[in-house]
Structure 1
Amino acid sequence: MLWTAALPFLSLMPRIREGWQQRILRYCPTGPFDIWLQAASGGEAFIAAKIVEELDTMVPAGRQLTVLSTTGTRQGYDVLSRAMQTFNANRSINPAVSYFPFDAPFLMQKAFSRFNPTVAVIIETELWPGFLLTAKKYGVPVLLVNGRMSEKSFHSYRHLKTFFKRYGPLKILAISEKDRQRFAKLTGADRTDVMNNIKYDQISLPPEETPYNIPLCLPESVPFIVLGSVRREEELQIVRTIKLIRAIKPDAVIGLFPKHLERVTPWLQLLTENEIPAVLRNTPVRDIVPGDVVVWNRFGELHDAYRRADAAFVGGSLVNLGGQNFLEPLISGLKPVIGPHWQNFSWVDHRLFSQGLVRQVTNEEELADLLLTDLPSRSDREKTVQAAMALLAEHKGGTRQACQMILNGLKERRKN
């Protein structure tokens, strides 16, 4: 009843309106599917793509798996769509992509009936009650891989301990012992184990000759600073940072990457109000010139921007939001700067900090100073990459661990 009343209001929200027909299952793929993978947004979608890629190498010759990948955001949908385009009839995976249905009981019943999955797989933490209840009703085992649960989330979920013991995932692979313990308190220790984080497997070096896929025609002499994955809650601190940088280095070009693309227009307004020259990433009006702030309005180009950058900050970390992926600029040869809040990445090897490969600041003044200090240093990028990859290589293998559990789950379900 509540969902029926809420749907008309949800349809007015821009982020929710994307993929509306699929969210309400008016148009969506039809099963049966061997595997239903659920990835919340862009980051989880990259993990889903990595899992599907690895499954393709593990399926016995002559066999084919049907895999449905769903997500809740446009960013996630775009990532999955691009990744699944690489699979053709000669591969071991027959993929489909859709938006995740609303968690309304009547829609979830329709989803499980239409998708008819053999197993369902949650990536990281997507514990939707309607999804879990309906999976139980249809006898579909739910697995959770690359599991993580913050202390804040645990304090919310712990009130539903009885529910999760009965309807929670059958098996959980968590990315750290702390995460495993939190899941164990909800579902029982016998259903949990630890795995290597799949994000380590995503770290690879592009061929040196790979061109930049970004519209920058800047001379090497023009300094380029990337402010990546900036969150709404830290926008005022970033404006202050930009002003401090421009006061000392007015010719620097700054690439501003909002974490969520709906913040692009508010960012343009905010920069204009502060008399900071701003241009959209894909504007045809004029070339980018020294001193511009380029506001990126396209997903998927941050990695190439890091490759061209002279200095980089990774957002979600100046305020208590847990941080964003600072490994990406690191493997591009940069020594990224982050704020004090990076608890979402507490799983990374802390030697990255002790060896100075990642630097932490406490406020925007320190941030601007360190970014400016990085500009003339032109540190040895190859040496930075080698040091980082040596540490990160010790933690790879999580994708195969996750895929093995998924294939085991398929085997068990088919036996029953």
Structure 2
Amino acid sequence: MKRSVLRALLSGAYGLAWLAARPVLCRHKRLQEGFPQRLVPDGWPGSALGMETGDGSASSHTRSDIWLQAASGGEAYLVWELLAHLAVLCEKQGTPEPLRVLATTWTRQGLDILQDMSGKLHEKHPWLSVRSAFFPLDAPKLMEKALDQVRPRVVGLLETELWPGLMLACEKRHVPMLILNGRMTDKSLRGYLKLEVAIPGLWESIAPKHVCAISKADAGRFARIFGGDRVEAVPNIKFDRATATAIPAVSDPLLKLLPPELHARQTVLLASVREQEEPALLSVIQTLRAHDAPTIVVAPRHMHRVKPWQALLSGAKLPAVMRSKQEGTIPAGSIVIWDTFGELGQLYQLADAVFVGGSLAPLGGQNFLEPLALGRIPCCGLHLDNFAWALEPSGEAKQDSLEALGLLQTGENAKAVAALLQQQLTLPTPHDAVRERFQHWLAPRLGGSARCAQRLLDEMR
């Protein structure tokens, strides 16, 4: 059977699968919000800040020059960093022409970040208009309609976002696609290769124009499915984001909740914790409470885990308070469930000991560079596969790694993590010294944002 026929059959079957799944997806806790918009109604995705008609009313014009897709909150911050560098590149070349960007995401957390980004970028760069929206369901026909309404000159997928429906639609509509800050696990590669066996040449036929991968290992995996001539390794955008992290002023409400004079030298932050490591972290909390009575802040990675954390702590007879329900000062020695999003950077500055989650279970880890940029040495479990790019030395010298420099601590289990956190409380490292050592480590790893931004601009010429 001809390759084109096989691909058409795959496209049809893939679209039918999305259609059959709609009754379930519309009730999914992370997809039900904005579900009608995910079906690409006429006028999707709406107008952007700075795109109004002469009388000030919103324009129905939906076209964008660039479409960027970010899975959730973490990737949305990468879009922000990428567009900030793109704006600088454009302004270096003279007075920029108006540029319209569509930024999409799957989740409410991602959308909140993108909406915040759009206003701040437009205020700083009035020629840059960014609209944000939920990402459509990846059915090929829906993606074709989305492309017809947005008419982007280039599409960029961030990190692990490989969506066959959008890729098929881009190939059919002759829209160049880039994978930016791309990463791919061995497990994902095996899945993609199985599909390639079933339909030889599939990935090559819908391959992106170019892939900017975050490491040589990731570049090698992308090359196996798309071909090596379109793949390169570039520094991770997260390195640029870490060095650009302005030390956020801790807001008055947070200072009122956790005044440093009351909580100094005894505040432990369990940041970005994931469901699968909750039992282990309960053990960490119990161990810390047995030795002393520090203030412990639990910040779940996903807000839908707040209620399970309440039940877990209640079952262990550990009373906890909710951040959203506190108006006065939180007493020293409390356990606080942080049920609001967007305050993690401020929390890092108030913490004396920091654990970064996704690492005590085989989940790949969460971003431990942010606390380092704010002068806190992160403690993690051993499961940091998603951040292998950050654990490698910059050259052959092994002493250049974060662990060798004392800028990362890892424990193999809950007992070891609790001991490391207790050590951070009793033997703190000066925050300014941590920031200085981290910036020195970071310097040779910068530049990924500018290179990805330049790729976007090159495709629009």
TM value normalised by structure 2: 0.85
Q: Secondary structure at the match of 1:180?
A: helix
Name structure 2 gaps, 5 residues minimum: 1-15, 47-60, 394-400
The change in CA–CA distance for 1:354 and 1:87 in structure 2 (over 3 A counts) is closer
Task: Report the residue type matching 1:232 in the other structure.
Answer: E
Q: Distance in 2 between matches of 1:108 and 1:207?
A: 37
- Root-mean-square deviation (CA, aligned residues, Å) is 1.7
Q: Which residue is equivalent to 1:54?
A: 85
Q: Secondary structure at the match of 2:181?
A: strand
Q: Distance in 1 between matches of 2:366 and 2:252?
A: 22
The change in CA–CA distance for 1:205 and 1:288 in structure 2 (over 3 A counts) is farther
Contact 2:45 2:62 survives alignment (8 Å): no
Q: Which residue is equivalent to 1:127?
A: 162
Q: Which residue is equivalent to 2:211?
A: 172
What does 1:280-359 align with in structure 2 at a 5 Å threshold? Answer: 280-284=322-326, 287-348=329-390, 349-350=392-393, 351-359=401-409
What does 1:180-329 align with in structure 2 at a 5 Å threshold? Answer: 180-204=219-243, 210-212=249-251, 215=254, 216-222=257-263, 223-250=266-293, 252-284=294-326, 287-329=329-371
Q: Distance in 2 between matches of 1:331 and 1:130?
A: 38
1:16 aligns with 2:31: yes
1:5 to 15, 20, 26: 20
C-alpha offsets along residues 199-242 of structure 1, whole Å, 9 cap, x if unaligned?
Answer: 01111366668234762333435311000111111110011111
1:91 aligns with 2:126: yes
Q: Which residue is equivalent to 2:412?
A: 362
1:388 to 427, 430, 438: 438
Contact 1:24 1:107 survives alignment (8 Å): yes
The change in CA–CA distance for 1:20 and 1:336 in structure 2 (over 3 A counts) is same
Contact 2:262 2:332 survives alignment (8 Å): no
Contact 2:248 2:345 survives alignment (8 Å): no
Superposed displacement of residue 377, structure 1: 1.6
Superposed displacement of residue 345, structure 1: 0.7
Q: Distance in 1 between matches of 2:64 and 2:277?
A: 41
- Segment drifting more, 51-60 vs 240-249: 51-60
Superposed displacement of residue 292, structure 1: 1.6
Superposed displacement of residue 2, structure 1: 3.0
Q: Which residue is equivalent to 1:414?
A: none
Task: Report the residue type matching 2:104 in the other structure.
Answer: T
Task: Report the residue type matching 1:67 in the other structure.
Answer: V
Name structure 1 gaps, 5 residues minimum: 412-416
- Segment drifting more, 25-34 vs 167-176: 25-34
Q: Distance in 2 between matches of 1:410 and 1:279?
A: 51
The change in CA–CA distance for 1:404 and 1:199 in structure 2 (over 3 A counts) is same
User: How many residue pairs are counted as aligned between the two chains?
Assistant: 410
Superposed displacement of residue 328, structure 1: 1.0
TM value normalised by structure 1: 0.94
- Segment drifting more, 233-242 vs 9-18: 9-18
Q: Distance in 2 between matches of 1:150 and 1:24?
A: 30
In the TM superposition, structure 1's runs of 4+ consecutive aligned residues that sit over 4 Å from their partners are: 205-209
Task: Report the residue type matching 1:359 in the other structure.
Answer: Q
Contact 1:31 1:117 survives alignment (8 Å): no
The change in CA–CA distance for 1:156 and 1:72 in structure 2 (over 3 A counts) is same
1:154 to 189, 199, 217: 189
Task: Report the residue type matching 1:21 in the other structure.
Answer: P
Task: Report the residue type matching 1:229 in the other structure.
Answer: S
Q: Which residue is equivalent to 1:108?
A: 143
Q: Which residue is equivalent to 1:404?
A: 454
- Segment drifting more, 84-93 vs 401-410: 84-93
